[in-house]
């Protein structure tokens, strides 16, 4: 198994890099979490960066195990959830709609 954890130092992430990614991913994180994750990522990224060793320009990427094509179905109405069912898990609702916090700023 020694080969699998062979470290080829390539990339590391700083606390601020992780903070930026956490912002993009919409996850609030404490300073301690950011620092810990940055440290862990140095090791994890070293390990996963190995994919670059064999990913030559001549290799086609595979995004999915099946040869997928668009699948069409006739445009017919089929039973679906009632408004009550669709709203059954809503954290908040109003007038048969999802009530969400303010999306646009005040100004």
Partner 1 sequence: MIRNNASEMAAKLAAGEITSVALTQAHLDRIAAVDTDVHAFLHIDTEGALAQAAAVDAKRAKGAKLSPLAGVPLALKDVMAQKGIPTTCGSKILEGWRPPYDSTVVANLKKNDIVILGKTNMDEFAMGSSTENSAYGPTHNPWDLTRIPGGSGGGSSAALAAFEAPLAIGTDTGGSIRQPAAVTGTVGVKPTYGGVSRYGLVAFSSSLDQAGPCARTVLDAALLHEAIAGHDPKDATSINAPVPQVVNAAKSGDVKGMKIGVVKELNGDGYQAGVRARFEESLELLAKAGAEIVEVSAPNFEYALAAYYLIAPSECSSNLARFDAMRYGLRVGDVDGASAESVMNLTREVGFGKEVKRRIILGTYALSSGYYDAYYGSAQKVRTLITQDFTKAFEKADVLVSPTCPTTAFKIGEKANDPLAMYLNDIATIPVNMAGIGGMSLPSGLADEDGLPVGFQIMSPVMKDDRMYSVGATLEAALLSKWGAPLLDKAPIMGGVR
Name the site residues for partner 1 (rule: CB under 8 A).
1-5, 13, 18, 21-22, 24-29, 33, 37, 40-41, 43-44, 47-56, 59-66, 68, 71, 73, 81, 85-86, 88-92, 98, 100-103, 105
Measured from the CB atom, the residue of 9 and 105 that comes closer to partner 1 is 105
Least CB distance to partner 1 at residue 49 (A): 7
Measured from the CB atom, the residue of 16 and 40 that comes closer to partner 1 is 40
Least CB distance to partner 1 at residue 77 (A): 15
CA-CA distance, 37 to 18, in Å (whole number)?
A: 7
CA-CA distance, 83 to 98, in Å (whole number)?
A: 10
CA-CA distance, 59 to 22, in Å (whole number)?
A: 32
Least CB distance to partner 1 at residue 19 (A): 10
Q: Which residue has the tokens 């903070």?
A: 19
The rounded Cα 104 to chain-centroid distance in angstroms is 24
């Amino acid at each position: 198994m020694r080969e699998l954890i062979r470290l080829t130092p390539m990339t590391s992430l700083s606390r601020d890099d992780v903070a930026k990614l956490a912002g993009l991913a919409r996850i609030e994180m404490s300073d301690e979490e950011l620092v810990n994750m940055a440290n862990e990522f140095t090791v994890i990224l070293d390990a996963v960066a190995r994919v670059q060793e064999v990913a030559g320009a001549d290799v086609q990427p595979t995004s999915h195990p099946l040869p997928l094509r668009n699948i069409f179905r006739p445009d017919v109405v089929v039973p679906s959830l009632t408004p009550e069912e669709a709203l059954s898990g809503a954290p908040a609702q109003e007038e048969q709609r999802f009530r969400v916090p303010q999306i646009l700023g005040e100004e």
